[in-house]
Chain A
Amino acid sequence: MQSSTNRFWSAAEEAYSATYVNDRNAAWTYNASGDVTDDTMHHVCNSAGYQVEATDNCAFEIGQGYDGDGLPLKREENRPAPLAPTVFSDVMYYLRSSVLGGRVVVELTAQGGRKNSYAYANGEEIARYDGQTANLLFTMRNPVTGCSAYQQLDPTSTFLGFDDPYLKHPGKNVDYALLKGENGYNSAFFVGDGNPFDQGGGCTWNQMPVPCGYVWALLGGAVVAPQDDVISVRYKGEWVLARFQAEADGYQGYIPVTASYEGEGRIRSIKPPTLRRGGPADTDLGKLNGAGNDQGVLARSTGFFGIGYGQPQNPGTTPFPTFTNDNLKVVQDSIKLAQEMTKNMKCDEALKAYGIPSLAALINGMTPNSNVFDGRTSTLTGAIGKNGTTESVGAYFKENKASVGASVFNDSVTGRGSVTFLGDYFFNPVTIQWMAQQRAMIMLHEAVHQVGGKGDAPFGSSKRLSEKIIEKCYPVLKGKLGGVG
């Protein structure tokens, strides 16, 4: 290889180029046996040709000893004081099984304690016990790249996930030292799966040893964000978009675009404070993100579906079916019509007496395929059936095909806060009279629940709420709909 350029996401890795003389890199030095002694690191080999030492001038020293069969027996990683401010030292002994052809079955500390142990089947590693976190991790091997990653399974063999798949964002230009950590060392690179001695033994990316969790994320196997990664929230008195973010310190959740992440689950507004005119309360981000009683508003990552919200009872294969083609158009048109209605001040302020200053602000928060989904095919299940029986959202809408057009299900069903689902009645009402208006009314009504967070009871009943919206918003339609009426 004479040259290479690589990118990590948007950041460029330092370009590599080399010239060769007699099949040797002209920039490197070699010993008499032809082993590399200096490339970007300094390497020392013993008389048998085994590499016994690797030193990075900026960061670390690794020593490795071998047994009589030439297999690594001891490994010592040091980061001595002159190299960096934080001193680090780790010693590990390998216990091998002759029955398994010399494979490592246990890794021991200098005191003889268990660090990691391994299980194999048909010559392949299938699981490992991580002594540091006391997790039993199952090996996942990508059949294309051959690269392995590790996942934790629950008793039903469902992936739990344990690793934050994202590295701390490295900033602009990435070089090897930066990727090893802010101070030149990131233990996760070498103490975990990456191994500069044997890159094939861990995970590599662009020929560099990296944590297998990172590769797993690159392969698309550890997507922990929910399906709708952008939603509308009210933050500091304004409706803004919030993006789902998984932070490197293990916290994740929705962060408004007008805020920045501070660490430890906390966020901070990046906009200067403004005078507020009152209006509905801000979205409870802590509750939305399932932050529990933490001081911050983000929750600690708990895995694939444990995204900080309550766990849905059973998500099934298509918990949040999206709208496409004609159906999407119907939903979008309904929202558009409702928005038209709220351009009239009477309609916009129809619920002002009930603490909702602007219906327009609420309807603008309804977004198809983000917080509004197709309930007819949803596989989410919960206690939503008749008399509290457990059934799927899809079955619920089928059962109430002729009457139910929309329902807002809460966290106990969705596992991610309130979500609006639309049903058959919305798309195919029994009578087609005033269909467009009915749909717009439905969207306005549900926006009060979904975005405004208000139930029917404060208005007297669901019917009274509809009545108040219809009373103020319907006359507005006369001109707009060619005098319908």
Chain B
Amino acid sequence: MRHCSLTLRWTIKVLAIVFVMSHFSSAQDRSKKESRPKESALRQLHPEPVESNPPKGIGLLAGYKHKGATDFEGNQVGVISKRDGVKIKYEMGFSQGMAVDADQKAIYVWYREQKANGRITRYALSKGNVLMISIPLDDAPQTLHVANFYGTIQKPDDIADMLLMILPFAYK
């Protein structure tokens, strides 16, 4: 009788553990399932960049590699990087707008403008050490057709590398 009740107690414990575990895992599955369509939609609209040639005008320095993709609204999106070098993300397209905001000069460490090909290009270093370069791609005033480059700067060389690679694009 005593053996019987011990067995029953163990059975109940095991069943409870199984129930809790199964419930926990089904909650996890459901949460995974719920986030899947979001991720799927995002991935389909914005595919991951793959290794390819950089846009015309961008000259890769030794050791740098380029990955690029085109998203659903025709933006050319990419990353230029190398080990121990600057990592530059960029996006260029018809509805970009200037990432470097002339009205927000106060939030930058420094802000510069320069005319290239008759268009005003903007340069700014954010307080988070991101060097941003915005280059208009047509002559319409306040155009949203722009190429924006964002480089995470960790050492002075990074600024030099970024300018050397990106500036020719502005003058192409």
Report which A residues bind B (CB closer than 8 A): 310, 383-384, 386-388, 396, 400, 403-412, 425, 429-431, 433-434, 437-438, 441-442, 445-446, 449, 454-458, 461-463, 466-467, 470-471, 474-475, 477-478, 484-485
6 A-B pairs with CB atoms under 8 Å apart are A400-B70, A407-B73, A411-B140, A412-B139, A463-B45, A463-B46
Interface of chain B, helix or strand or loop or mixed?
loop
Contact of A457 with B97 at beta-carbon distance under 8 Å, contacts A310-B140, A404-B74, A406-B72 already known: yes
Chain A residues within 8 Å of B77, by CB: 461-463
Q: Could you give, for residues 28-48 of chain B, a 1 whenever the CB lies within 8 Å of some chain A CB and a 0 otherwise?
A: 000001101110111011110
Q: A462 and B140: CB pair below 8 A?
A: no
Q: B96 and A457: CB pair below 8 A?
A: yes
Chain A residues within 8 Å of B45, by CB: 405, 438, 441-442, 445, 463, 466
Chain A residues within 8 Å of B167, by CB: none
Interface centre among A403, A405, A475 (most CB of B within 10 A): A403
CA distance A384 to B95 in the complex (A): 12
* B51 adjacent to chain A (CB < 8 Å): no
Q: B95 and A404: CB pair below 8 A?
A: no
* B22 adjacent to chain A (CB < 8 Å): no
Chain A residues within 8 Å of B152, by CB: none
Q: B97 and A458: CB pair below 8 A?
A: yes
CA distance A48 to B148 in the complex (A): 83
Q: Could you give, for residues 124-141 of chain B, a 1 whenever the CB lies within 8 Å of some chain A CB and a 0 otherwise?
A: 000000000010011110
* B143 adjacent to chain A (CB < 8 Å): yes
Contact of A438 with B44 at beta-carbon distance under 8 Å, contacts A407-B73, A474-B38 already known: yes
Q: A449 and B144: CB pair below 8 A?
A: yes
Chain A residues within 8 Å of B148, by CB: 457
Q: B97 and A403: CB pair below 8 A?
A: no
Q: Name the CB-closest residue of B to A461.
A: B91
CA distance A387 to B172 in the complex (A): 9
Q: Name the CB-closest residue of B to A437.
A: B41
Q: B55 and A387: CB pair below 8 A?
A: yes
Q: Which of B64-104 contact A (CB under 8 A)?
A: 70-75, 77, 89, 91, 93-99
CA distance A455 to B78 in the complex (A): 18
Contact of A434 with B40 at beta-carbon distance under 8 Å, contacts A384-B94, A387-B56, A412-B140 already known: yes
Chain A residues within 8 Å of B72, by CB: 403-406, 425, 442
**The residue from B34, B36, B42, B96 contacting A456, defined by CB atoms under 8 A apart:** B96
B interface residue count range (under 10 / 10 to 19 / 20 to 34 / 35 or more): 35 or more
CA distance A381 to B91 in the complex (A): 23
Contact of A456 with B97 at beta-carbon distance under 8 Å, contacts A403-B72, A463-B46 already known: yes
Report which B residues bind A (CB closer than 8 A): 33-34, 36-38, 40-42, 44-47, 55-57, 70-75, 77, 89, 91, 93-99, 134, 137-140, 143-146, 148, 172
**The residue from A400, A457, A470, A484 contacting B74, defined by CB atoms under 8 A apart:** A400
Chain A residues within 8 Å of B37, by CB: 434, 437, 474, 477, 484-485
Q: B71 and A463: CB pair below 8 A?
A: yes
Q: A412 and B94: CB pair below 8 A?
A: no
Contact of A403 with B44 at beta-carbon distance under 8 Å, contacts A409-B94, A458-B97 already known: no
CA distance A442 to B73 in the complex (A): 8
CA distance A405 to B46 in the complex (A): 11
Q: A383 and B138: CB pair below 8 A?
A: yes
CA distance A400 to B74 in the complex (A): 8
Chain B residues within 8 Å of A425, by CB: 72
Chain A residues within 8 Å of B56, by CB: 386-387
Q: B144 and A466: CB pair below 8 A?
A: no
Chain B residues within 8 Å of A405, by CB: 45, 72-73
Q: Name the CB-closest residue of B to A449.
A: B95
CA distance A138 to B4 in the complex (A): 112
Q: B41 and A474: CB pair below 8 A?
A: yes
CB distance from A331 to the nearest CB of B (A): 15
Given contacts A383-B137, A462-B71, A466-B41, list 17 more A-B pairs with CB under 8 A: A384-B94, A387-B56, A403-B47, A403-B74, A404-B73, A408-B144, A410-B143, A412-B143, A431-B44, A434-B40, A441-B45, A462-B75, A462-B77, A463-B42, A470-B42, A471-B38, A474-B37
**The residue from B57, B73, B98, B138 contacting A406, defined by CB atoms under 8 A apart:** B73
Nearest 7 pairs between A and B by C-beta?
A455-B97, A457-B99, A449-B95, A387-B56, A463-B46, A457-B97, A455-B144
CB distance from B86 to the nearest CB of A (A): 18
CB distance from A16 to the nearest CB of B (A): 55
Chain A residues within 8 Å of B89, by CB: 461
CB distance from A483 to the nearest CB of B (A): 10
**The residue from B47, B74, B99 contacting A407, defined by CB atoms under 8 A apart:** B74
Contact of A455 with B73 at beta-carbon distance under 8 Å, contacts A434-B40, A466-B45, A474-B37 already known: no
Chain A residues within 8 Å of B91, by CB: 456-457, 461-462
Chain B residues within 8 Å of A455, by CB: 95-98, 144, 146
CB distance from B114 to the nearest CB of A (A): 19
CA distance A405 to B44 in the complex (A): 11
CB distance from A309 to the nearest CB of B (A): 11
Q: A403 and B55: CB pair below 8 A?
A: no
Chain B residues within 8 Å of A403, by CB: 47, 70-72, 74
CB distance from B31 to the nearest CB of A (A): 11
Q: A456 and B44: CB pair below 8 A?
A: no
Chain B residues within 8 Å of A434, by CB: 37, 40-41, 44
Chain B residues within 8 Å of A410, by CB: 94, 138, 140, 143-145
